Amino acid sequence: MAEFNNVTLIGNLTKAPERVQYAGNTTIANLRLAANRTYKDGQGQKQNDVVFVDVKAFGKVADTILRYCQKGRQILVQGRLSMAEWTDKTSGSKRSKLYITAENFQFLGSKEQNGNDNGQSVTVIATAVPEKEMSVDDVSMDGIEF
């Protein structure tokens, strides 16, 4: 049976990315995207849907996102679906949450969003090139609240 886990989203950052530093100098950037969808309903009226998606980036991709991205920035993220599982501290029940593990991304949007004041648009593509395959399973999730 074939397996395929690939996600591509375009969205705007809902807040500035957060840096998480772990032992071994692995940088993780936590960010949240608002992905919009516009369509016409059965009566021909324009409708808007917004989906909020959590994204985690590791290593060089995380470093680039943390350096250049701020709230409102439009980016394209490519990656895979991942799941975090934990036990709720207050109720003791098991919890889980889907998120995207970013493998690469691209800055989108206007020059104002890019923070570029020389009148030229900027497109940067950052791709994760891990020294070894790394996933969230390699990093302790203790102390991270979802």
pTM: 0.72
pLDDT digits (tens, 9 = 90+) for 105-145: 999 976 554 554 443 334 444 455 444 445 545 554 555 55
Give how many domains the chain has, as a whole number.
Answer: 1
pLDDT digits (tens, 9 = 90+) for 30-85: 999 999 999 999 999 999 999 999 999 999 999 999 999 999 999 999 999 999 99
Among candidates 51, 47, 29, which has minimal Cα distance to 38? 47
Residue 104 lies in a domain: yes
Tokens 């709720």 map to which residue? 88
The encoded tokens of residue 97 equal: 């949450």
Tokens 């840096």 map to which residue? 19
- What's 16's DSSP letter? -
Residue 91 lies in a domain: yes
Residue 16 lies in a domain: yes
